[in-house]
Structure 1
């Protein structure tokens, strides 16, 4: 009887794992939103001076196309809890970090986006460490 209770409790996700799953879903929603914002810029719905693909300078065209495709793709992977979802998100975050922190004279200084990507990465790492240590303690 005791082995059955222990086996069943080990199959249920812990609070940290449930938090991690919901964290993936929240980040997925934000990735979908960012992807849609890049698509709005590319197709010219946004009313701005260079916010249509044919009016953008080349240094904006390349990352805009990449991020318009990768952000929704990352959202799908994160929502499905697929192992490749965080990898695609990392590519998007690294691209935007290089854009806004590395070349602020070209892409504007959007420190808030860089900081938000850093916070998401740190929270992701913290949750993974908590889950790792919980599983390690349960294995003993």
Structure 2
């Protein structure tokens, strides 16, 4: 008679699960650093002429304040391996890509930020694809 509970072997994560968790936590650390950097800009500690909230142009006030809140929120979700963590990270990444690629006349151009977000997104999609392929039954493979 079976109890319907998973066995101990089914509960032990394999290398792919551990690698995905480490990846998400590394991205969480990067998100936390990004959030701190946006807060540094907002409070005026950043070295620059227009890097204080009351001196920023309106578009920077909106973008910086939103990203200063969303990046640490994404970091918390990614660190806890919550399902909403990557969603919030995607909102942050899409916002920064839209800023730097879509409106460079207002925000400047930062190819390194665009490439970094693309690399993280590609790695995330790769991990998710591998995790999904592992769940498929042997007959389908």
TM-score for both structures, normalised by structure 1: 0.91
Report the Cα offset of residue 139 of structure 1: 9.0
Instruction: Rate the CA distance shift 1:13–1:138 in 2: closer, same or farther, 3 A.
Output: farther
The equivalent of 2:94 in structure 1 is 94
* Residue in 2 that maps onto 1:43: 43
Bigger drift between 76-85 and 130-139 goes to: 130-139
Q: Deviations over 1:20-59 (max 9, x none)?
A: 0000100000000000000000000112100000000001
Count of aligned positions:
135
What CA distance in whole angstroms lies between the structure 1 residues aligned with 2:133 and 2:9? 17
Please list, as runs of the form range in 1=range in 2, the aligned pairs for 1:56-135 lying within 5 A after superposition: 56-135=56-135
User: Structure 1, unaligned stretches of length 5 or more?
Assistant: 1-5
**C-alpha displacement of 1:119:** 0.7
- Measure the CA separation in 2 of the matches of 1:23 and 1:82: 13
1:138 Cα deviation after fit: 6.6
Structure 1 or 2: larger helix share? Answer: 1
Please give the TM-score of this superposition, normalised by the length of structure 2.
0.91
Query: Could you list the runs of 4 or more consecutive aligned residues of structure 1 that deviate by over 4 angstroms after TM superposition?
Result: 137-140
- Mark the CA change 1:49 to 1:139 in structure 2 (over 3 Å): closer, same or farther: farther
Question: Matched residues in 2 for 1:73 and 1:121: separation?
Answer: 18
Pairwise CA RMSD of aligned residues?
A: 1.7
Gaps in structure 2 of 5+ consecutive residues: 1-5
Task: Report whether the alignment pairs 1:25 with 2:45.
Answer: no
